[in-house]
Structure 1
C-alpha cells in the first residue's frame, strides 16, 4: 500500500477502534447506577470503584487512539483492561443455553479487540496523528539546536 493510502487506512482504523471505547466509557458515565448494579450482580466487589476505573480506562485509551496521542500506551492499556473484563463479565463457561452463546460472542469479540489493539501498539499511530505531529515538531527543533564543539 502506498504512503498516501496507508496514512488514511491507519487513521480510519484508529478512529474506529478508539470510538468504540469512548462511546462505551461515556455510556458507563451516563448509566452509572445500572452499570454498577450489573457489575455487582456478577459478583464484582467495589463495583463503583471498578466502574470508575473502567470508565477512565476506556475514555483515556479511546481518546489516545482517536487522537493518535501516545498511541502504543493507549492501545496496550486497553488490551490489558480487556483481559479481566473478559474473564469476569463474559465468563461463557459459567452459563448455559443462549446466555452461554451471548457471553461466548462477547468473549471472542474482546479477544479480537485485544488482537487489534496489540497490532495498533506495534504499528503505531500513522502519519495523521498527534504522535506524528509531535515527532515532526521535535525533529524540526532538534535541527535548530546549535551544535557545540
Structure 2
C-alpha cells in the first residue's frame, strides 16, 4: 500500500491545491485553451483526489491504474507541451512532460501486476498449456 501511496500523493496534493486556489485553477485551464474551464476544473479535482485514493486502497487496481496512466499522459500532452514552449520554458516543460510519462509507466506497472496471477494462487499453480 505504501508503494501505491507514493505516486498517488502527488495527485491528491495537486487536487487539494487546485481547490485552495480554485479561481486560479479555472484561469489556468482557460489559459491552456480548455473549453469550459469552469466545468473542467471540478472534474480534474475529482479525478486527482478520488482515483488516487482508490489506487491506494487497491480497489479495481487494474482499471484505476490504467485510468490514472491515461490521465497522466493526457495532462502531459495538454499542460507540458515542450515541443512548442519558448526557449526559456523548454527545459521545465520537457522535464514535466517526461516525469508524467514515467509516472504513467508506474501506474501501468501496478495495473499489469494486478492483472497477473499471484504466486500461490490456484490459477498460478495450474499446468501451463
Q: TM-score, normalised by structure 2?
A: 0.82
Q: Is residue 2:69 matched to residue 1:85?
A: no
Question: Which deviations, in whole Å up to 9, do the C-alpha atoms of 1:21-64 show, x marking residues without a partner?
Answer: 11111111111110111111121121121111111111121101
Structure 1 residue ranges without an equivalent (≥5): 1-10, 126-149
Paired residues in the alignment total 115
What secondary structure is seen at the aligned counterpart in 2 of 1:44? coil
Q: Distance in 1 between matches of 2:18 and 2:63?
A: 22
What secondary structure is seen at the aligned counterpart in 2 of 1:69? coil
Correspondence list, 1:45-84, <5 A: 45-84=35-74
Q: Distance in 1 between matches of 2:32 and 2:86?
A: 16
Q: Distance in 2 between matches of 1:115 and 1:38?
A: 26
Moved segments of 4+, more than 4 Å:
none
Question: Which deviations, in whole Å up to 9, do the C-alpha atoms of 1:71-120 show, x marking residues without a partner?
Answer: 22221111111222111111111112231111111100000011000001
2:25 is matched with: 35
Question: Which is higher, the Rg of structure 1 or of structure 2?
Answer: 1
Q: Is residue 2:13 matched to residue 1:18?
A: no
Q: TM-score, normalised by structure 1?
A: 0.71
Structure 2 residue ranges without an equivalent (≥5): 116-129
What secondary structure is seen at the aligned counterpart in 2 of 1:61? helix
